[in-house]
Amino acid sequence: MPCQLTVRLPKDLSDALEAASRKLQRRNSEIVRMALRQFLQVTSADGKRPIERVRGLIGTLESGVSDLAERHREYILESLNNVR
């Protein structure tokens, strides 16, 4: 490898990387390279941000709840209370 990069990770990200490393049976460095390749392809291949790639889908699903946009917080809290 022609270039070396040192990165400090927060504990949660480090733990997730270790878990992925065990699950995929690959070294941490391989997983980081895979993630960078995927991220850089998504953002630079077409020059668009991920949100721009799905902009046409936003708001196209019917929930059946007419005031969901205005009262979304209430609906989320209600669903969380029903789970408990």
> Tell me, what CATH number does 27's domain have?
1.10.1220
pLDDT tens track for 52-76 = 777 787 877 778 888 888 888 998 8
Q: Structure pTM?
A: 0.48
Read off the tokens for 61.
Answer: 């699903």
In a domain, 77, yes or no: no
Which amino acid, 37? R
Question: For residue 2, is it within any domain?
Answer: yes
Token pair 């460095």 is found at 29
Domain-located, residue 44: yes
How many domains does the structure of the chain reveal? Answer: 1
Ranges of residues in the chain whose predicted pLDDT is under 50: 44
- Residue length, the chain? 84
81: in domain: no
Report yes or no on 58 lying in a domain.
no
The pLDDT of residue 44 is 47
φ and ψ at residue 37, rounded to 5 degrees = -60, -45
Residue range of the domain that includes 35:
1-52
